[in-house]
């Protein structure tokens, strides 16, 4: 389950699936011992370019849709695409997803009627919410997740700035090689004259 977008989720999914598949057998074992592996991603953000909250992927031929093998199955469940205006009438997956998403507690009873197995999860959540140590641990975990998101965003921004600086330097070097004067290069790139001089190759 992912609360925030970690980026490269598609590649992460295949990597986790391949680890599960690979570690089923030991070196020298027969490949027919490999069993089907199912990956389930519950995401608290939108990932795929459509409105469905539940998407299922398999390995199929492009034109005939004939499956190569049924051993790979990936489920993507996007909580942000759930409609919360009303609680579903029947049972099934959507009831669990609404509960995980944090639907209003007033709707819990209706969800429980639809999906009786939810009662255990609801009772567990109620118990944990009354335990101070567990609540503090949960808050610490959420803070760590938020800090990680901020760190990732900061790293991406830093990378973008480094890329811009590198691009300016490469442009300046090219212009220097063409014999363009330093003042003109400074105006074109935004670099200082001292920075441009430092890019000159040593003679």
CB atoms closer than 10 angstroms to residue 92: 10
**CA separation for the pair 53, 48 (Å, rounded):** 9
**What is the pLDDT at residue 32?**
92
**CA separation for the pair 26, 48 (Å, rounded):** 35
Burial of 9 (0-12, 13-18, 19+ CB in 10 A): middle
Find out whether 110 and 87 touch, Cβ atoms under 8 Å: yes
**What is the pLDDT at residue 56?**
94
**What is the pLDDT at residue 119?**
79
**What is the pLDDT at residue 85?**
46
**What is the pLDDT at residue 91?**
63
The 3-state DSSP class for residue 157 equals: helix
Encode the chain (203 residues) as per-residue pLDDT tens digits: 766 666 788 888 899 899 999 999 988 899 999 999 999 998 888 888 888 889 999 999 999 999 999 999 999 988 888 875 455 556 677 777 777 777 777 777 777 777 777 878 777 777 767 666 666 776 777 777 777 777 776 766 666 767 777 888 888 888 887 778 888 888 888 888 888 888 876 54
**What is the pLDDT at residue 86?**
55
The 3-state DSSP class for residue 60 equals: strand
**What is the pLDDT at residue 156?**
66
User: What residue spans define the domains of the chain?
Assistant: 1-81, 131-203
Burial of 133 (0-12, 13-18, 19+ CB in 10 A): exposed
The pTM is what? 0.55
**What is the pLDDT at residue 10?**
87
Find out whether 34 and 21 touch, Cβ atoms under 8 Å: yes
């Amino acid at each position: 389950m992912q609360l925030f977008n970690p980026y490269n989720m598609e590649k992460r999914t295949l990597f986790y699936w391949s680890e599960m598949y690979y570690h089923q057998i030991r070196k020298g074992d027969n490949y027919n011992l490999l069993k089907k592996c199912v990956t389930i991603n519950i995401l608290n953000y939108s990932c795929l370019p459509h409105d469905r909250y539940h998407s299922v992927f398999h390995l199929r031929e492009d034109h005939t849709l004939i499956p190569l093998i049924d051993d790979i199955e990936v489920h993507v469940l996007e909580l942000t695409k759930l409609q919360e205006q009303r609680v579903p009438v029947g049972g099934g997956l959507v009831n669990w997803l609404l509960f995980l998403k944090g639907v209003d507690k007033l709707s819990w009873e209706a969800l429980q009627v639809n999906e009786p197995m939810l009662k255990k999860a609801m009772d567990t959540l109620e118990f944990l919410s009354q335990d101070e140590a567990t609540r503090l641990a949960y808050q610490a975990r959420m803070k760590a997740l938020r800090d990680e998101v901020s760190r990732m965003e900061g790293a991406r921004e830093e990378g973008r700035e480094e890329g811009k600086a590198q691009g300016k330097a490469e442009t300046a070097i090219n212009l220097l090689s063409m014999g363009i004067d330093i003042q003109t290069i400074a105006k074109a790139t935004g670099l200082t004259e001292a920075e441009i001089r430092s890019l000159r190759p040593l003679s």
